[in-house]
Chain A
Amino acid sequence: MQISTQAYRPRPTDAPMVTRPAFVDLATQHTIEQFLFFEAQLLDEARYNDWYDLLHEDIRYRMPLRRNRLHRDLPLESTGSRELAHYDDTHESLAIRLRRVQQPTAWSDNPPPRTARLITGVQARVGERPGTYDVRSAFLLYRNRLQDDADTFVGHRDDVLIDDGLPDGEPNLRLLARTIHLAQSVVLAKNLGLFF
């Protein structure tokens, strides 16, 4: 039923009813969800090198800035791929971050924080490039440190997972791209020294 032209997310007046995208089959959905849950566990347990094994060599890991813009400027609300970002990392630069955070002198992580990641709303579609999946997931990340230092990070991630398969035919998912959309314009936590 036409009640609005959805001016800022345009919808032509003769558009058909919204349909659910073609999500992956149940078994693939399960594999992808378990990959994301395992990854979250590794990060919660600070098994950083284990997490690194799940990253593809060509990974692009970004967290764009978000700005308060008017409806009409919504496409500019997040910074673009070639603009400033909170994170804009490669396989190599992530390795530097992961090595740093494990130094005994990484004071903001020693003693380490306690984190709990809730990953939900996982929606997966077959990606453009063969063997890839476009996966959107929502996250709620709680971080508690020392006595009473507590932050909550909420948002969603747009991931590209790639499955290059194991010799025995089992799936072997790795993370090829991650864009983290934090639902904050001003970062309210004292640092973003953690992985999403």
Chain B
Amino acid sequence: MPYQDLLDFDKVGTLNPEVLHSEEIYRRELATVFARSWLFLTHESQLVKPGDFVTALMGEDPVIVTRQRDGGLKAMLNVCRHRGMRVCRQDLGNTQRFTCSYHGWSYNGAGSLVDVPMEDHAYHDRLDKPGWSLIQVPRVETYHGLVFGCWDEEAPTLADYLADAGPLLDPMLTRYEDAEFVGPMKWRLVGNWKLAAEQFASDWYHVNISHASALMVMSPTGKGPKTEIAQTPGRQYADPLGHGAGFPTHPKSRFDDRVVHEHYDYDALRERLGDARVEGPMTTGHATVFPNFSANWP
């Protein structure tokens, strides 16, 4: 079924629930969305020294992201070229070699095949080793330390891809002048990827109800935030490329308790970022970079 038949923009904006259930649609998205879009991999602060690596997923494809000797970054498919085994089964670390635990094919940090056990007997020394390097993710680019990869050589640059959404991410990414990202903390969400992506991409409407219990106990009185804070308007942003954001237009969001705000120097933020960003699309909010990189900054 063509995508446009799943949406009814003309009447009331209904969506065919198959979008969230159909295995066939999901399989198609892996090719039409995930194989063509910029996908978040990691943050540069997790790859400090040459040989540092993390593993990540691009759609369902496992990849290794490594810091190179020349300081650059590479991402490669975590699949041995011999029999398809994962060559790295750690979440993070530092190494000179990724060695397959099946037959021992060994790749260096750039993904080049450097050692094949019994190469002379097994392959009569006729193996084209450079031709059997790990499959490289052709595009790896960064934005304020965020590392993205893309399989599509025809895709726009990351900077162009984020041209309009970037200003919504900048308040989070530039709030601290020397930010380090920690983790990763990994969770599994059972459900279609669009459930989470769409939520972060918009929906400032849900906050007072979904998070009511947190709003209550995190207010100074313990009985809920002041009306003027609870009812400050939010804004939503939608980008033709699929990015989106939701954010409040009050500098203290809806969590007006001291414990939430005491570690922010609002005067300093105003000086560095300007009133418009502290009060506008802002120092708090949530956003999705299409398709499924979502961020939430309290």
Residues of A within 8 A of B (CB): 65, 67-70, 73, 83-84, 86, 96, 99-101, 103, 105-107, 185-188, 190
Contact = CB atoms under 8 A, between A and B. Distances in A.
B188 A187 contact: yes
A154 to B, nearest CB: 16
B222 A67 contact: no
A26 to B, nearest CB: 41
Contacts of B182: 83-84
B159 interface: no
Contact of A187 (B91, B186, B217): B186
B92 A100 contact: no
Contacts of A187: 185-188
A190 B222 CA distance: 27
Contacts of A86: 185
Interface centre among A67, A69, A107, A188 (most CB of B within 10 A): A67
A70 B90 CA distance: 7
Nearest to A109: B213
A103 B90 contact: no
Contacts of B217: 96, 99-100, 103
Contacts of A186: 186-188
Consensus secondary structure, chain A interface: loop
Contacts of A188: 188
B183 A69 contact: no
Contacts of A190: 189-190
B210 interface: yes
Nearest to B185: A65
B213 A84 contact: no
Contacts of A107: 210, 213
B91 A68 contact: yes
Nearest to A92: B259
Nearest to A83: B182
Given A68-B90, A70-B90, A186-B187, A99 B212 contact: no
B216 A69 contact: no
Contacts of A103: 212-213, 216-217
B146 interface: no
B56 to A, nearest CB: 13
B205 to A, nearest CB: 16
Interface residues of B, number: 23
Contacts of B212: 103, 105
A84 B189 contact: no
Interface string B73-105: 000000000000000011111000000000000
Interface centre among A70, A100, A187 (most CB of B within 10 A): A100
A185 B91 CA distance: 9
A70 B259 CA distance: 38
Nearest to A93: B259
A187 B188 CA distance: 6
Contacts of A73: 90, 93
18 contacts: A65-B183, A67-B92, A68-B91, A69-B90, A70-B90, A70-B93, A83-B182, A86-B185, A96-B259, A99-B222, A100-B217, A101-B213, A105-B213, A105-B216, A107-B210, A185-B91, A187-B186, A187-B188
A3 B228 CA distance: 71
B192 to A, nearest CB: 14
B77 to A, nearest CB: 18
B241 interface: no
A106 B209 CA distance: 10
A67 B88 CA distance: 13
A101 B209 CA distance: 15
B207 interface: no
A177 B212 CA distance: 30
Leading 9 A-B pairs by shortest Cβ distance: A105-B212, A103-B213, A106-B213, A186-B186, A84-B182, A67-B91, A99-B217, A100-B217, A105-B213
Contacts of B185: 65, 84, 86, 187
Nearest to A104: B213
A99 B189 CA distance: 26
A168 B182 CA distance: 49
